[in-house]
Structure 1
Amino acid sequence: MFIELDLQSETPIYAQLIDQLIEGIASGELKPGDPLPSVRRLAEDLGINLHTVNKSYNLLKQEGFLQVHRKKGVIVQPDGMPGVTEAFEEKLRQQLRSLAAAAAVRGMSEEAFTQESRSVYRNAITNRGGEQR
């Protein structure tokens, strides 16, 4: 599993970690039932505080992406990923609204914004072998 954090970014480290783990699941790099490193191990590997990893894992567990077992440790949800909920759709609309506004202020056309959005979505679900899931 390859995780690259930008310690200089304005995006909190726990949020970067969440995003990259979800991207790993979407791309197929992380499959249902795959084990993840322990909180302590991942924190050491990334050189970050273990509470940061713990926060990321707990939020992903609450969202239904991960399971935490006493014996198995942390694993990617083996029983299917969470579906689209009203709360998710609202969060998505808020984030897209902000990005669309920033794009418009910078002079990006609706067509270019739509095309970029489509490209990002397709790249998110394309696994390393180039096949779409």
Structure 2
Amino acid sequence: MFVELDLQSDVPIYTQLVDQIVEGIANGGLKPGDPLPSVRSLAADLDINLHTVNKAYQQLKQEGFLQIHRKQGVIVQPGEMPGVTAEFETRMTRQLKALAAESAVRGLNAEQFSAYAERIYRQVSTTDNGRNQP
């Protein structure tokens, strides 16, 4: 599993880790049932605190992307991935609203913003993941 962290970023390290694991699932780099490194192993590989990795794994478990077993370790959800929830829609709306506002202030029009969003969506979503994609 390839993870690239920006230790100088304002985005917390655990959030970067969560985002990259979800992206790995979306683009097919991580498939249902795939094992992930242990908390200790990934923390050592990335030279970060093991509590940071644990926090990311726990968040992904809570959201339904990972399963954590005592004997099997951490694996990508072998069943169906989580669907769209009200919480997800709220978070997505908040994040898109902020990006849309900044884009407008910087002079991007709605069509350009939509084109960027669609291109990025297609870049990270190269597999079906059990769902029909638009």
TM category (shorter chain) comes to over 0.9
Aligned to 2:84: 84
Divergent runs of 4+, >6 A: none
**Aligned mates of 1:70, 1:14 — CA distance in 2:** 22
- Amino acid of the residue matched to residue 90 of structure 1? T
**Aligned mates of 2:42, 2:13 — CA distance in 1:** 13
Superposed CA offset, 1:42-62 (max 9, x none): 000000000000000000000
Q: How does 1:1-133 map to 2 (within 5 A)?
A: 1-126=1-126
- Amino acid of the residue matched to residue 82 of structure 1? P
Tell me the matched-pair count: 128
Aligned to 2:130: none
What is the alpha-carbon root mean square deviation over aligned residues? Answer: 1.0
Aligned to 1:130: none
Shift of 1:86: 1.3
Shift of 1:79: 1.1
Shift of 1:72: 0.1
More deviation in 82-91 or 18-27? 82-91
TM-score where L is the length of structure 1: 0.94
Shift of 1:126: 2.0
TM-score where L is the length of structure 2: 0.93
Identical counterparts, % of pairs: 64
